[in-house]
Amino acid sequence: MDAETARRMFGQARVARLATADAQGTPRLVPVTFAVYGDTIVTAVDHKPKRSTDLRRLRDIGENPRVSLLADHYEDGDWTRLWWARADGTAAVVTDGPEHARALDALVAKYGQYRARPPKGPVIVVTVGRWSGWRYA
């Protein structure tokens, strides 16, 4: 799959998995809602229940900004429709300003749930350096 197709398919997905690692390389993986514009992916800390607002993924990015995100599609009955797309890049945590506002606008436009209650937490902004993927056909 070429990079442009990977970006397009990734952007159409409803959920992705964000992979981070701390300074020692300990990996972590969490599902995220996200939006894509150009070679930027954004996700936000939203109102869904969490044990703490001091999220490990935010601390990981502070220690090691290299991240990957993976979106995929699986159908048990029709494997010819399988695909995955991955974005590898560098992340930053943004708490306010124009970049934060643009990210929230993109998330609100993609997810109806955010229209009534936009995320109020930090935003993770990923600058994608490499798009890759695979599909059956």
- Look at the domain 3-135 and name its fold: Pnp Oxidase; Chain A (2.30.110)
Report residue 41 as tokens: 């992916």
Helix or strand (DSSP H, E) at 27? strand 27-32
Q: Position of tokens 């955010």?
A: 114
**CB-based contacts of 29: which residues, under 8 Å, 6+ apart?**
17, 18, 19
Beta strand residue intervals within 78-122, DSSP E: 83-94
**In tens digits, what is the pLDDT along the chain, a chain of 137 residues?**
999 999 999 999 999 999 999 999 999 999 999 999 999 999 999 776 567 667 999 999 999 999 999 999 998 989 999 999 999 999 999 999 999 999 999 999 999 999 999 998 899 999 999 999 999 97
- How far, rounded to the nearest angstrom, does the alpha carbon of residue 109 sit from its chain's CA centroid? 15
* Partners of 67 in the β-ladder: 89
